[in-house]
Each structure stands twice: as structure tokens, then as C-alpha cells.
Amino acid sequence: MISISFRRRATDRIMKTLFLLSVFLVILPLVLIFFDLLWKGAKELKWSLLTDLPRPVGEPGGGIANGIAGTLTLAGLAMAGGIPLAVLSGIYLAEYGKGVLASLVRFAVDLLAGVPSIIMGIFGYVLWVLPMKRFSAWAGASALAMIFIPIVVRTTEEMLKTVPVPVREAALALGIERWKTTLFITVRTASAGIITGILLAMARILGETAPLLFTALGNQFWQTGLDQPIAAVPLQVFSYAISPYDDWHDKAWAGAVVLILMVLVLSIGARVLTRERN
């Protein structure tokens, strides 16, 4: 039996306690944020929040229905453009990507993933708002797509690479053409992983505020066209939060609850999907 000196044992204990403490300190804000969301959001969390348009300050009631519609529209547009672009690029990188082009694209994707979202807002602004002289859903959706694309390209490539090479070889040996093998066997095998990546990227862009500030701009009413400014839940949360009125602060909290529910449903859904696959 080796005896360990008291000093060494004490140090071990103290360090362990400190590490445990840091786990608590990391988790604590999460608990507090969820608690505060429910506590402060409960006041305005009514059915009308989901069905009504915003009302002027002082008037009771009113909701963020246009923001919810706007957020879904913006995410839908960004994904309609982003999914084909990103998934096919991911297929290229995983299945054919050995040359100079592939290294350049990988580098570009790495780079895009590191660009702050506010800069994607500048991108949408310069691309759409400057020439059209008008804030629009198109501008907002382009900014969101730039955030969406690198995440999905990367997960698609990674997921395809987890499909064992013998699976491809078996299909090819059966005389199935390569493109069919890729689309109907390799991509299909990895589809749960690819969809997980898409859901996580969607959760990310649903909550983005900064790239929408000067592209989508926000709107008090229902949008009339995609070339018009459009409302979004994160924008509403932001403008209610920095307003000087108490009843708008309550609305900000309620809007934040709606926003976090959308994000959580997607992230947890994505997690469940990955777990089922394993």
C-alpha cells in the first residue's frame, strides 16, 4: 500500500473541487437564462402573441405574428437557395474533391464559417439594398444564406466521408453507375447526418439578428412582397428590448421565449435524429 502524503491528497481534493465549481459556473447562466425567460416571458405569453400584429406602445395586447411569418419566410428563402448549393458542394468535396479547386473551396468554406454574421449583413446590403434602394426580404435571406451555406457544406462532406468505401465499391461492382451510386446509395446512407446538419444550420439562422438589421430591417405589418422590408422575431426582440417602455420589455421576453422554442425544437430534433441513427 503506497501512502500518499496529506499535502498531495489535499491538493488533489482542492483541484477537483475547483473543476467541479467551474462546471457549475458554466451551467449556471443557462439555468438562469431559462428561468428568467419563463418568469419574465410568462406575462405576455398568450395566444394573441402568435396571431396578432404588433400594437403601438401603451395599447394592451398585440403580438409578433408577422415576425414569426417573416422569420420563417427568411429562413425558407435562405434554405431554398442554400440547401442545393451546399449539399451538392459537399458531395463534390467528399466524392471528387482531390484537386486544386477542392482545396480552394475547402479554404473558402473555412473562411466563410469564421466571418462574423454582421458582415454577412453588409454583404446583403451592398448586394440588394444599394442597387434597389430599398430594404427587402431578398437582402435578409441572402445574408442568412451566407451563414447557412458553410455549415451545411462542411457537415455534408463529413457525413459522406463516414460512409464506408466498401459500400460504394459494392454498388459499383454491381454495375451501378457512379452518379447513381453517389446519389442513391452514398448520399442516402448519410442522409440522417446531412439532415441533422441542415436542421442545426437552420436553428442557427432563425436566431440571427445582426445580419437582418440593415437588410430585412423589420416591419410593423404583414409583408406585402419579398422586395419589401420584412419583420423577424429576433429583430422584434431586439427593438422591444432596447425600447424605454416596460410593457415592450415584457413583449421582448415573450418574443424571446418564442424564438428559443423554435431554436430548441430544431436543435433537439437534430440531436434525436443523430441518436436514432447510431
Partner 1 sequence: MNSRGNIKDFLFEKTTSLFALCVLALTLLLFALLVRESLPAIRKIGASFVTNTTWDPVLEEFGALPFLYGTVVSSFLAILIALPLGVGAAIFINEFAPDWLKTPVSFLAELLAAIPSVIYGLWGIFVLLPVLRDYFMKPVSRVLGWIPLFQGPVYGPSMLAAGVLLSIMIVPFILSVSREVLATVPKVQKEAVLSLGGTRWEMIRIVIGQHCIPGIFGATILGLGRALGETMAVTMVIGNRPDIVLSLFQPGYSMAAVIANEFTEATGELYLSALVEIGLVLFFLTIVVHLVAKLILNRMVPEARKGAAR
Footprint of partner 1 on 201-260 (CB under 8 A): 203-204, 206-210, 213-214, 217, 234, 237-238, 241-242, 249, 252-253, 256, 259-260
Q: What are phi and psi of 275, to 5 degrees?
A: -70, -40
**Footprint of partner 1 on 49-78 (CB under 8 A):** none
Q: Is 89 in the site for partner 1 (CB under 8 A)?
A: yes
- Minimal distance in Å, beta carbon 126 to partner 1? 5
Cα–Cα distance, 270 to 200 (Å, whole number): 7
**Could you say which DSSP state residue 98 is in?**
-
- Minimal distance in Å, beta carbon 226 to partner 1? 20
- The residues near 5 (Cβ < 8 Å, ≥ 6 apart) are none
Q: Which is nearer to partner 1, 69 or 108 (CB)?
A: 108
**Footprint of partner 1 on 122-181 (CB under 8 A):** 122-123, 125-127, 146, 149, 151, 153-155, 158, 177-179
Query: Hey, which residues does 224 pair with through a beta bridge?
Result: none
Nearest to 63 by CA among 276, 252, 274: 252
Nearest to 153 by CA among 216, 204, 110: 110
Which of 121, 137, 139, 148 touches partner 1 by CB under 8 A? 121
Cα–Cα distance, 160 to 99 (Å, whole number): 18
- Minimal distance in Å, beta carbon 138 to partner 1? 15
Report the sign of the C-alpha dihedral through residues 48, 49, 51, 54, in that order: positive
Q: Which run of H or E residues covers position 81?
A: helix 65-91
- Minimal distance in Å, beta carbon 260 to partner 1? 6
Report the sign of the C-alpha dihedral through residues 126, 132, 133, 134, in that order: negative
Segment interacting with partner 1, rule: CB under 8 A, options 30-38, 50-58, 60-68, 72-80: 30-38
Which of 49, 68, 78, 93 touches partner 1 by CB under 8 A? 93
- Minimal distance in Å, beta carbon 204 to partner 1? 8
- Minimal distance in Å, beta carbon 174 to partner 1? 13
Residue type, 218: G
